A = this chain, B = another copy of it.
Amino acid sequence: MSNSSNKKTSRTKINRLPKRGYYDQETLYSILDSALICHVGYILDGEPRVIPTAFARIENEFFIHGSRVAGNIKALASGIMACITVTRLDGLVLARSGFNHSMNYRSVIIYGNGTKVQENEKLNILNAFIDHLIPGRSSDGLKPISKQDLLDTTVIRYPLNEMSAKVRVGHPNDDEEDYDLPVWSGIIPIIREFGEPITDPKMRHTTPMPNYVKYYNK
């Protein structure tokens, strides 16, 4: 585990609307832990690339993974700089003025150079990916991740020491004189719901749906 704390840099400083910026670990980690995917930006052959992918956080470290032979994973594992964004959308903000329409959101940006995780560390980290999807899953009698699976997978580590969050909450901000306009205004909340789980029809046994699946709410 890295013990370094987060530092504000020219890359992570929120310049536009600085009052929406956050740099404290509690805010940052709560956004990361509530999200299921990140978008990883990097440069390949002089051009920008962005991939949506799963992630895991263990203490002050952030992990992504992929096939050992995938081009994007090979590039990222070589130690190049990545810009990783995690975004949760919370609402539509309907103002009186067209120009003031907005969204409520929580987003985190992380900068870092990735490093390849060693073979003997991979198993714990891959199980953390599973438990990030759905807590408790990795210890529910799954077929364990094999030595070959580990060999086929590259895991990339980023220290969480250069990041910031930007958060918008609340109702529209209109000009004072516009509050008299007869336009309905307010927020439509956006909620990420987990629907009724769907049992795989190819199940050959009668293992009941576990409670951590039935009542899942991240």
Contacts and interface: CB of A to CB of B under 8 A. Distances in A.
Q: How large is the interface on A (under 10, 10 to 19, 20 to 34, 35 or more residues)?
A: 35 or more
B194 A189 contact: yes
Given A97-B142, A99-B146, A178-B143, A188 B204 contact: no
17 contacts: A16-B66, A16-B67, A36-B92, A36-B103, A40-B50, A41-B48, A52-B87, A52-B105, A92-B133, A92-B134, A94-B134, A98-B142, A99-B145, A99-B153, A186-B203, A186-B209, A187-B200
Given A133-B103, A205-B180, A96 B213 contact: no
Interface of A: 11, 15-16, 36-37, 39-43, 46-52, 54, 66-67, 70-71, 81-85, 87, 89, 92, 94-99, 101, 103, 105, 107, 109, 111, 126-127, 129-130, 133-134, 137-138, 140-146, 149, 153, 171-172, 174, 178-205, 207-210, 213, 216
